[in-house]
Every structure is written in structure tokens, then in C-alpha cells.
Amino acid sequence: MPEKQLQVELLAYTPDPEKTCALAARTCYSGLEYDELKAQVDEKDQAAFLRRIVASGHLSVLEHASFTFGVSGVSRALLAQITRHRIASFSVQSQRYVSLAEGFGYIIPPRIKALGEDAVEEFESQMAQMQAWYQGWQDKLGNGEGSNEDARFVLPNACETHITLTMNARELLHFFSLRCCNRAQWEIRALAKEMLRQCKLVAPVIFEYAGPACISGPCPEGAKSCGDMTNVREMYRSL
């Protein structure tokens, strides 16, 4: 039963995401046919135009660019949080169809690791105990889908899962504003940060000011603010 580490890959995205969004925005303000409009967008750098559009809050144009990620090395605890984002599409490794009899992977929280080797050993032995319970129930229930779906009830939140997820750029900006914040839970924050890093590589203008809300304004957390805005801003701007 191995410990698993976060892995994130931008599997696919709308070709030329920024041109596509700029073209969509120009549709609103132009009487040109599409071949002329496309030529206009191809000819001239659209960065300044797109920045103005995003700054003005005309964010629906960003819904024309989609980004699909493959995520593994994350816990079922993370799954419960990320699937709260309704403007996203998810495909998740099934605990009914996939038997974990060979051993489930798991995530060890950094704070448990920081307690030292004894703590990690204790955590790992608890995982091994749950693996034994799982196998015990599989044996009692017989092989196949039916036994997996009931044996999994003894598996922990730490259990690793695989998620293919798709969000459009508008939803990603919203997701990053909530989940890159220091107030977000550590695991989903690490995932959001890595997703943002990869988005910036392919759509630097759209995601220029993406990140927690304090990147582009005051912290909305009030008394619960981390108080570390200067470092947070610096970190996300140089991501």
C-alpha cells in the first residue's frame, strides 16, 4: 500500500484559448462576417483587448475556453470538496468497478508527517488495518462489483482517487479565487495552485491576475484573514 503524491496534468484545452475568447468578445461589437473577424483576430495581438474585457467583467466570453486536467494522488477528502464546484465536469475512478484488493493508495497529511517517523508508521498501520478489513468484507461478500461497493464502506477519507475534470476559464478563475486562498484546505490549495501554474503557461493573459481574491483587491476574509497578503500576492504573480 503505497503513499501517493499529487500529480496534475493539463490533458487538453481549447486550441488558442485566448484567441477563441477574443473572437467571442469581438462578435459582440462587430458587424463583420466570421472569416473577416478571424483574420482581424489572427493579425493583431489580442492581449490588450482581452485584458480590457476581463477587467470590465464581461466574463462570459471566457466560457468559450475549456481546460481538462488529469489529477491523481489526491484523497477522497479532496474529492468531496472539489465536486462542490457545480460548473465543472468530473469523471472519477469508481470504487464499485475498480477493486482495491491489491492495496489502496493513500495520502498522508503533511502535519502528520511533520510529527515524525513514529506518527507516519502509526498512520500506515491504520491504513493496513483498513485494507485488511476491506479484503475481509470482499471475501465474505464474494467477488465482483457487488462486493466492492459494500466493502468500500470501511475505506478512509485518505484513500487515493483519480479524477478527470474539465472547467471553463471563467469557472477556473472562480475556483482559483476560493481554493488558492490560504484559508482553503491544504490539499485542494496545492491542487489549485498547480492547475493555475499550468493554465498560465497556455493562457497567460486570461490567468494573469488569477489566484486568491487578495491578488486583485482587498482580502474578503475579514477577521479570518491570513494577514500574509504581500507574500501571497508575490507568490501568485510570479507563479
Ligand X SMILES: Cc1cc2nc3c(=O)[nH]c(=O)nc-3n(C[C@H](O)[C@H](O)[C@H](O)COP(=O)(O)OP(=O)(O)OC[C@H]3O[C@@H](n4cnc5c(N)ncnc54)[C@H](O)[C@@H]3O)c2cc1C
**Alpha-helical regions (H) of 142-204:** 145-151, 169-179, 186-202
Inter-residue contact 82 to 188 (CB < 8 Å): yes
- For ligand X, which stretch binds (CB under 6 A), given 50-58, 63-71, 80-88, 152-160? 80-88
**Rg over CA atoms, the chain:** 22
| 170 phi and psi angles, rounded to 5 deg | -65, -45
Q: Which listed range, 82-90, 119-127, 148-156, 227-235, lies at the site for ligand X (CB under 6 A)? A: 82-90
Establish if 87 lies at the interface with ligand X (CB under 6 A): yes
What is the x/- site pattern for ligand X, positions 180-219, by CB under 6 A?
Answer: ---xx-----------------------------------
Nearer to ligand X, 192 or 203 (CB): 192
Size of the chain in residues: 239
How many Å apart are CA 203 and CA 16, to the nearest integer?
8
197 an active-site residue? no
Classified as helix, coil or strand, 100 is: coil
Q: Does 120 bind ligand X (CB under 6 A)?
A: no
Provide the terminal-to-terminal Cα distance of the chain, rounded to the nearest Å: 33
| Residue 226 binds ligand X, judged by CB under 6 A | no
Which of these segments, 17-25, 72-80, 99-107, 176-184, binds ligand X (CB under 6 A)? 176-184
User: Contact between 19 and ligand X (CB under 6 A)?
Assistant: no
142: its cell numbers: 464474494
Rounded to a whole number of angstroms, the minimum distance from the CB of residue 121 to ligand X is 31
Q: Where in the sequence numbering do the catalytic residues fall?
A: 179
